[in-house]
Each structure stands twice: as C-alpha cells, then as structure tokens.
Structure 1
C-alpha cells in the first residue's frame, strides 16, 4: 500500500455525518452491490476477466468501483471485493460459477478439516484489497467516502461448510448442534482474521466499514444471539482497541444482519454506529427498538426496483419520510439484483435526495 497519508480532501461527507448523527444537507444514499452485474459496463469487464481476478487486481477493482459513480449521484462508494476472500486467504479454493454463484470444491466436511485452514498470516494474502482501497481513495479525488467491508463469522462459516450458498444451511447448523466446540473454534478463527482484515482496510484508507451477516436469517433469535452476536461484538471491540492503541481514529461501522429484525435492540448495544435493515423491517418500529442514538440504513425491497419509475419514486419517498433526515442512510434492503433497469437506480437515487 502506498501514499495512504496524502488523500484528497473529502467534498461530500454526508454518509459519514449521518453515521455519526451529525446534520446533513441531504439524505445520503448508496446501494449494496452498486458496482456489479446490473451495469452493462461491468458485464463488459467480466467478459475479459474472471470474477476473482477483478477482486485481486486493484486497477480493475477500482474501475468497477467507479462505474456506478459515473452514472448516479451516489453519496458513497464501496470497494469492489467479495466476502469470500477471507476463506480464500485461509487456504480454501473458491470458484465463481456462472448462474450458480460461489462454489467451494472442497468444503469443510468434518472438524478434522479445520487443520487444513491457514489462518496465520491470512491478512498478508489480502493486501490486494488494501492496495485497491488506497488506489480508489486517490481516484475518487474526494468525491464521496469509500466503504470497506467484510463478511461476518457465521455467514463465512456457512459458506465454508455448505460449499456455497444454501437455502437451508443444514450442514452448518448441524455443526452447531453436533460440534459446538469446533464451531466456536472456527468462528473465533474467522473473527481474528476479520479484525486483522478490517484494521488493514482502515490503514489503507477505508472511511467506513460494513459487516455483512447475510445469513442471520437462518438462525432463530436465541441462536443468533448466542452464536453470531458475541463474535460480531468482538470484531468491533477488538478493532477499536487495536486502532486506539496505535492512535488511529476508528471509522464509522455498519452492521447489516439480514433477517435479524427480531433483535434490533440487542444489535443496537454492540457498539456499531449504523444498523442496516432488510426490507421486512418497518422503519418506525426499528427506530423504537434501537433508540435515537443509532443510525439506521436501508431498506427498500430490491424487487421494487422492477416497478415503474413512478412507483419506485412513490415507494422511495414514503420510505425516506418514515426514516426522516436524522441518523439515516438510504439503501436497499439487500443487494441490487442483476437485471435491475438503469432507470430504476436513477429514479431511486433522485427520489431519496428529493424526498425531504
């Protein structure tokens, strides 16, 4: 990583101000997966490059990170990467199969397979993400803040055991039941790697961080609080302690636990500045649960982006008015889907900015 101390001054800091609870001149908006398959220019890049080649080549990662910012009046960028780079850094093979998604040819089958993982020095195998972050900060020229991210331990554990995405997570849940101590060992191993990874991202220039617990929906509330939450809290606490000890300011942190609307009050006590909401959560009820001192992010249903521009504008305006202008970052309730029309994204961003 080079030149991490001489970044251009930030011109639009509304996302960071909203995360800290400071006044904003307009409601900020960004979209999960805003750099990706719905953009024709991204599809052109993918014709020439494998998915993980894009992630692992800073120049290409920066190009696709910049693509949505050229089209839309967004208030943040998020570095193009993938949550599964951590299992890769732990020594597992991950392939991206067209029409299928990520595939692990050799998933973790039994606890004995934990011995095959190589967590020591994993962050040194992820320096390409830090290099892309640093490069992107300069390419942005202060236009908007840059967000870094990671998958959360339970979500990563699920992929590593299931061998890819799963609608049931039955194998991973079986580990929790039949191998509780080994499950905790894996979750702890991942947590330590994630803290290293996020520390590296902050040092590289990330101005906000998001932790994706995308598989929270597969756990009932009691299990989510018992299995996932302690490690989510440890990530935040250990990262803050580590950065503080080096005199490095902590950046705002977002927790997005998809399907965990049942435990917003508990999430609000974990130290994260922002709680991301999926589309199943009512904004007014969410505010009651988390209180006035947490920023909320979300939460339009991604499928609504296939409706007419007039419908999208109405739904987005209604959403923003429910959340209000204070401590709010507009987003979808999950990642934008591959066939979303460009005009829908244009309408959504414009509607957010003009709703209040």
Structure 2
C-alpha cells in the first residue's frame, strides 16, 4: 500500500508475474489478432484523464510528469475508466515525452501548452548528448505495469510510446507546433542530423515498449500524432524506416501492435506496412475507405470525439454505422477517432461503451 503525497489517497500496488488466464478470452486481443470476437471491443484514447472527476481530484496539485512517475498514482488513474466504463482494455497512463525526461532531457509539460523542451535539438552533438534508454532509467514504469496487471485481471493493458517523428518534432521545435517548420527543415536540409535523431528516438521508444511488455502489458500502441503533416513520399523516405524499427522490436515481443496518427488518411497504407497489426483511423476517414488501404490488418476507430456531445440516439446511430463498416476488416476495435475531449460527460461514454459491447446489428 502507498499513500500519494498531497492526495490523501491510499493506493494498492499488486504485482504478478503470470498472465491472467482470462486474457485468452479478451475480445480486444482477439480483434487485434484478427480472430473471431464475442462482441466488438471498445476502449478510448485518453479514457484516463481530464474528463473524469475522480482523475481531477487525484491530480490536484500534482504535475503531469510527477504523476507519471508515481507507480501508485499511475495504477489508480489507469484503473479509473476501467472501473467506470467496463472497457475492453486499459491504456497505460503516461506521456509520450516521459522517456526523454527519464534519460535526462530538460523538458516539462506546461498546462495549456504541452511538452516544452528547454534546449531544442539542432546539431549532431545535441543528438549524441541524449542517452539511450535502459530499464534502469524507468523502474517506476516496471513497478506500475506490474501493479496494473495484478489489478486488471482479465482486462488487457496497452503499453504505448510516441513514434519517432512526433517525438522528434517536440525535440526540434522545442514544443508543440502546427507547421513543424524547424522539424522539416532538419529533415530536408540536414539529413545526417535527422537520421541520427530518428535512430536515437526509435531506440528509446522500442526500449520503452519492451519495458512495458516485460512487466506485463498485453499490447502496444505507437502514437504518431503529427505524422499527418507529411506527404506519403516524405513519410516513406524519412519516417517510415524508423517507425518500422520500433514496431519490429515490438513484434518480437509477441504482442499485437497498433499504429495511430491524426490526419493520416493518405498514410494509412504505409503506416500499416511499417509493421502494425492494427492501424488506428481518425474520424475524418470513413472505415470503408480506410480498410482497403491497410490490407490484411485490423483497424481501430473511429467515432468523431465531438459526437459524444450529441443526443445519445445520434451518437449510437453513428457508432452502429462504424461497427457495421468495421466488419469488413480483418479485425475491428471500436474507439474514438482521437482522444476523449476533457469536457466529455463520463455518463455518455458509459452509454457508448454499453452500446458497442451489446450491439448485434
């Protein structure tokens, strides 16, 4: 048992070394592997977060990175939506820049802004100064995952990492960017620095996923939030080989791999070719258009996150259309087309979860 400072909440961290026998029956894992499912599985990106009052209470006065490094807090936050909604999978509570912080990069997550890097990467020397990640850098991740596996029982845990391009953008821009101008300038104008940086980040991401799976995660998702800023040609030449390296190492772990980006309707094919078992689709692309692009792979998605603000019958009607479209894929995992919006009503997500899990067509 551990009491998190400042919260007054005592949290249990239960450890286990053996996979729970009920994981074999997981609808989420079956869908991710392209196997028949008892129902369409559902979980939500950012299901653990600001839309939950219990999350806001627990996070009072506690910074984001501090929260991510506290195993007992990570266990509780990750479990909150599982308890509330009964979703088919838990997503590990963390942040894509956490591995950078763990190896010593001077960064912070500023409320209302996002990750901010004190000294952006500009040169080969800057890249070489970033240490490679080892399990010893993130013992709190191992502890949190082990605790979660014990709490979750037959509900699978999804580990995750930021994809090389998106993480590189934060390092080069120094923070969030809409144009990614400095990032693209390096990619096109300093290919030696770019390749070294992407190779470095790919290694960090792959190790981060390996740590999570070694501790008990049952699947992984690689988030490439900013990949939609690229043309297919530039993605294939400058990004895909590095994402493929991460996914190849994840594939050696024997767990399903999900690859997701935002605004990637023109990249779904190559994102699948990079090594994904399941390709995440945002809300802008109908599944009927996405499925032929990804080939013999599953799809995940893709309800517009704003539809949870619509009347329930409107939301569920659209969800039914998505479930029906997903039947044409090798496997389909229901999700939103992006993360849960902070002002979302949790009760509406509960209704959506129940609808998806009980839908028969």
> Same fold by TM-score, threshold 0.5 exceeded?
yes
Which residue number corresponds to residue 230 of structure 2?
Answer: 219
- Which one is further off, 262-271 or 47-56? 262-271
Aligned pairs, how many? 346
Match of 1:253 among 253, 257, 282: 257
Detail structure 1 runs of 4+ shifted over 4 Å in the superposition: 1-4
Question: Is 1:126 aligned with 2:138?
Answer: yes
Question: Is 1:197 aligned with 2:190?
Answer: no
Question: Is 1:70 aligned with 2:93?
Answer: no
Which residue number corresponds to residue 5 of structure 2?
Answer: none
Question: 1:144-223 counterparts in 2 under 5 A?
Answer: 144-223=155-234
Which residue number corresponds to residue 327 of structure 1?
Answer: 331
- Which one is further off, 126-135 or 342-351? 342-351
Structure 1: how far apart are the matches of 2:180 and 2:294? 28
Which residue number corresponds to residue 61 of structure 1?
Answer: 74
Report the secondary structure of 1:212's partner residue: strand
How far apart are residue 7 of structure 1 and its match?
4.1
Question: Is 1:274 aligned with 2:287?
Answer: no
Structure 1: how far apart are the matches of 2:113 and 2:268? 32
How far apart are residue 122 of structure 1 and its match?
4.1
Question: Is 1:102 aligned with 2:115?
Answer: yes
Question: Is 1:233 aligned with 2:244?
Answer: yes
2:14–2:151 contact (8 Å) kept in structure 1: no
Please report the RMSD computed on the Cα atoms of aligned residues, expressed in angstroms: 1.9
**CA pair 240-353 structure 1, distance change in 2 beyond 3 A:** closer
How far apart are residue 4 of structure 1 and its match?
4.8
Q: Which runs of 5+ in 2 are unaligned?
A: 1-12
Question: Is 1:336 aligned with 2:334?
Answer: no
Which residue number corresponds to residue 106 of structure 2?
Answer: 93
Structure 1: how far apart are the matches of 2:80 and 2:257? 24
How far apart are residue 258 of structure 1 and its match?
2.1
**CA pair 7-21 structure 1, distance change in 2 beyond 3 A:** closer
Give TM-score scaled by structure 2 length. 0.90
Question: Is 1:307 aligned with 2:319?
Answer: no
Match of 1:20 among 33, 36, 58: 33
Question: Is 1:263 aligned with 2:267?
Answer: yes
Kindly provide the CA deviation profile for residues 177-235 of structure 1, in whole angstroms up to 9, marking residues without a partner as x: 22111010000011112222211111100100000111101111111111111111111
Structure 1: how far apart are the matches of 2:198 and 2:96? 15
Structure 1: how far apart are the matches of 2:332 and 2:249? 26
Q: Which runs of 5+ in 1 are unaligned?
A: 244-249
